[in-house]
Structure 1
Amino acid sequence: MKETLLFIVELINDFHDNIIHLVEMAGFQLTDKQLHFWIIGIFGMVIFFITHVVFKYIAKFGILCISFIYTMTVLVVIVFAIEIQQKITNRGNMEFEDIVQGLWGFLALFFAFLSIYIVYKGAVKIMEKTRSQKGRKGKSGSRMSRYHSS
């Protein structure tokens, strides 16, 4: 876990240094805060447009899919933060397996919920179909009796 975080930090630092070099080569004099404003702003907009297209497509399948993706994303951030906090405070072991097990816990409980949800939605659909068929039989029967009684 520690090695993975160090690798990610090294990639980010290299990216940061390369961006500073490119900005200086272009003749811009930006402070670190200005650089963060532009880079994170642009990076955020790219993520937003990609996310918007993907979520718009996924929304066709229902808001449940979007809720799952959002929850999973938040959980990934939280479990990484917990593991980093454990390393900083020395109150536990920082292990990648803890992250994996935590996320598996969410997935297991989510799929249990999803199974119940699917059964419930199926039962509701069957009941609605049964009601609409009974309603049509009752209405057509009353029309027929109206015509026959004349």
Structure 2
Amino acid sequence: MKEGILFLVEIMNNLHDILIVIINDILGLQMTDKDMHFWIMGFIGMVTFAAVYMISKWLSQFSIGIHLIAFLYTLTFMFVLVFAIEIQQAITSRGNMEFADAIVGLWGYIALFLVYAGIMVFFILVKSLFKKGKNKKDELDV
């Protein structure tokens, strides 16, 4: 996992250097590193917000939409959490930084969520069957 993070860091460093050349040398804006972080991260955040908003709005039209939105938000949080823990282990040397640990942690969340989803589907089906039974009983009483 350490090699993977170092590879990603190298990509980010190269992108950073390319942006400095484009913004400062080619466009002549003479932005500081803080200025670039402000604008680039602000732009990335707004594009991400727009995408998440559109997906959330689309999902919310379905009866299970709020569950899907909550699942996706929690999954995103879990990605950040498991990788932060692994990076923290590498920095502090308390534990081993392993990609497999992060993946297994994410699978734990997904597995327990699927158990939850299965229980919810069971209760929804049982509730639906009771409603159908009650409607048939009401029809017979008339």
| TM exceeding 0.5 | yes
The equivalent residue for 1:108 is: 111
Aligned to 2:4: 4
Q: Deviations over 1:8-35 (max 9, x none)?
A: 1111111111111111111102111111
Task: In structure 2, list runs of 5 or more residues that go unmatched.
Answer: none
Q: What is the identity, as a one-letter code, of the residue corresponding to 1:4?
A: G
CA deviation string 1:54-94 (max 9, x = no partner): 22222233211111111111001000000011111111000
Please list every run of 5 or more consecutive structure 1 residues that lacks an aligned counterpart in the other structure. 141-150
Partners in 2 of 1:128 and 1:20 — Cα distance?
A: 64
Report the 3-state secondary structure (helix = DSSP H, G, I; strand = E; otherwise coil) of the residue aligned with 1:105.
helix
What CA distance in whole angstroms lies between the structure 2 residues aligned with 1:17 and 1:135? 73
Which shows bigger deviation, 113-122 or 51-60? 51-60
- Computed over aligned residues only, the root mean square deviation of the Cα atoms, in angstroms, reads 1.2
Identity %: 45
Any residues of structure 2 matched to 1:19-58 within 5 Å, and which? 19-24=19-24, 25-58=26-59
Give the 4+ runs in structure 1 shifted more than 4 A: none
In structure 1, what residue type is equivalent to 2:70?
Answer: S
Shift of 1:132: 2.5
How many matched pairs? 139
CA distance in 1, matches of 2:59, 2:85: 30
TM-score where L is the length of structure 1: 0.87
Aligned to 1:119: 122
* TM-score between the two structures when normalised by the length of structure 2: 0.92
Counterpart AA for 1:109: L
